[in-house]
Structure 1
Amino acid sequence: MEKIKEVIVVEGKTDTAVIKKLFDADTIETNGLAIDDKTLDLIEQANLKRGVIVLTDPDYPGMRIRNIIIERVPNIKQAFVDKKDAIGEKKLGIAEAREEAIIEALKNVVTFTKDVETITWPEFISLDIIGDKKRRMKVYDLFHLGYGNAKTLFKRLNMAQITKQDILEKLGE
């Protein structure tokens, strides 16, 4: 079983169970949106000592939790499971995700950096991503940036320091 050095932040107990089934890893549970200062302190400390990977559900609450953590601990590692790979019978989430999707997400961790513009808004517009959801989703997938709208993609591309040239190369253009 592969060991993961970093502590993985998940939303709840069922997510922890799935991670521990797949990896030799430690987790911190946020208890969903009930994430509090005590949990954020723990995440901050773990990040200083071992590093942290945030792996939340690919839905609005998961994004909200991710943003709360980033606000407190910038430049943290992140892993994303695609929405289509995380749909269960009655729920959407990490606990319902395909095992291969979780393994893939943790192999393709990204670190976002704020205040660095590697792609400008005019360059982004020139890529014809805004009106083309299929193309936008392809870019999200190619760079393992999760899911979101065009504005979120623009922000994440800059935070992951991805250039227009990187995008064109990955798209084979």
Structure 2
Amino acid sequence: MTGYIVEGKSDQLRVQSVHPHAHFVILNGISFRHKERRAIEEALILCDEVYVLTDPDEPGDKIALKIMETYPEIKRIHIDPKKARNVRESRYKYGVEYCSNQYLKETLPGI
């Protein structure tokens, strides 16, 4: 089984639409406290591979680096910001939840 560490429920739902049998750790933003660490450690036991799948923005980069420093066996899946972009009130917002199913199928391992 493949595991993904995502920032929020919207990210989980988007990825689950193309990878329904994956295991998820939801960070609920960029928090990385005891509860999240326990969930990541459980995923490392349950899954063959665990990946960080955070938004292609500064907060996503920071939490991904923190996770990979703590758990070197976890790799990050880099998302192309152009493929994860949405226009909101005349400015761009970036997130995994905005990626197309086709892009995720091409990008995510284990599908």
> Does the alignment reach a TM-score above 0.5?
yes
Residue number in structure 2 paired with 1:44: 41
Using the TM superposition, give the Cα deviation of residue 44 of structure 1 relative to its aligned residue in structure 2, in angstroms. 2.0
Using the TM superposition, give the Cα deviation of residue 23 of structure 1 relative to its aligned residue in structure 2, in angstroms. 1.2
CA deviation map 1:35-82 (0-9, x unaligned): 312202211221133131111101111111101111211121321210
CA deviation map 1:77-119 (0-9, x unaligned): 32121011000122210001122222222139xxxxxxxxxxx
**Percent same amino acid among aligned pairs?**
33
What is the rounded CA distance, in whole Å, between the counterparts of 1:64 and 1:80 in structure 2?
Answer: 13
**Which runs of no fewer than 5 residues in structure 1 stay unpaired?**
109-173
Alignment of 1:10 with 2:6, yes or no, is yes
**Which runs of no fewer than 5 residues in structure 2 stay unpaired?**
none
What is the rounded CA distance, in whole Å, between the counterparts of 1:80 and 1:26 in structure 2?
Answer: 19
Picking from 28, 31, 42, the partner of 1:31 is: 28
Residue number in structure 2 paired with 1:104: 106
Using the TM superposition, give the Cα deviation of residue 18 of structure 1 relative to its aligned residue in structure 2, in angstroms. 0.5
Residue number in structure 2 paired with 1:54: 52
Residue 88 of structure 1 aligns to a residue whose secondary structure is strand
User: TM-score normalised to the size of structure 1?
Assistant: 0.55
Q: For the Cα contact (< 8 Å) 1:88–1:97, is it kept in 2?
A: no
Structure (1 or 2) with the greater strand fraction: 2
Q: Which has the higher contact order (CA 8 A, sep 6+)?
A: 2
The two structures, once aligned, show a CA RMSD in angstroms of 1.6
The residue identity in structure 2 corresponding to 1:28 is V
Residue 54 of structure 2 aligns to a residue whose secondary structure is coil
Residue number in structure 1 paired with 2:63: 65
User: TM-score normalised to the size of structure 2?
Assistant: 0.83
What is the rounded CA distance, in whole Å, between the counterparts of 1:48 and 1:82 in structure 2?
Answer: 29
